[in-house]
Structure 1
Amino acid sequence: MGGGHGESTTYKGFTVHHPKRWHVVTGKGMCALMWFWVLYRAKQDGPVVLGWRHPWEGHGHDDHGHEH
């Protein structure tokens, strides 16, 4: 059925082609980038998402240039 390019494994009539090295490296790099982004956003927005802080309370500083 397939073109016969590269290595593949056939199991019960289903052929799975092995990925090339650049596919594996690119996939791992994109996975790492995704987790860095998820952890960064969790650090920034975690308390709001978990309900520990309201979004309108700011990021822990009250200095907005207002004088009392």
Structure 2
Amino acid sequence: MAGGGHGASGAHNITHGGLSLHATKGWHSRVGQGMCAVMWFWVLYRAKQDGAVLMGWRHPWEGHGHGGHDEEAKHH
């Protein structure tokens, strides 16, 4: 079957319970951390914008000047 390749590159693997994990390169870790940060900034930004609606504390058609009852009353 597929051989394990026990060369110089095998020295950087981590084996636990028969599963070998390759060591990551430094730039892989930095890019992954950067993408994780972008994801969390996006999640927190959307929670700030839509969190009250998602939690049921406010209806999407209420307030914030996006065609709500206040703007309709000004035009009539």
TM-score by length of 2: 0.71
Name whichever structure is richer in helix by fraction. Answer: 2
Greater Rg over alpha carbons, structure: 2
Matches of 2:51 and 2:6, distance apart in 1: 49
Which blocks of at least 5 consecutive residues in structure 2 are unaligned? none
Report the aligned-residue RMSD. 2.1
Query: Identity of counterpart residues, as a percentage?
Result: 59
The residue aligned with 2:15 is 10
1:57 equivalent to 2:62? Answer yes
Long gaps (5+) in structure 1:
none
Aligned to 2:75: 67
Task: Count matched residues.
Answer: 66
Runs of 4+ aligned structure 1 residues displaced above 3 Å come to none
Give TM-score, length-normalised by structure 1.
Answer: 0.79
Which structure ranks higher in relative contact order (CA pairs < 8 Å, sequence separation ≥ 6)?
1
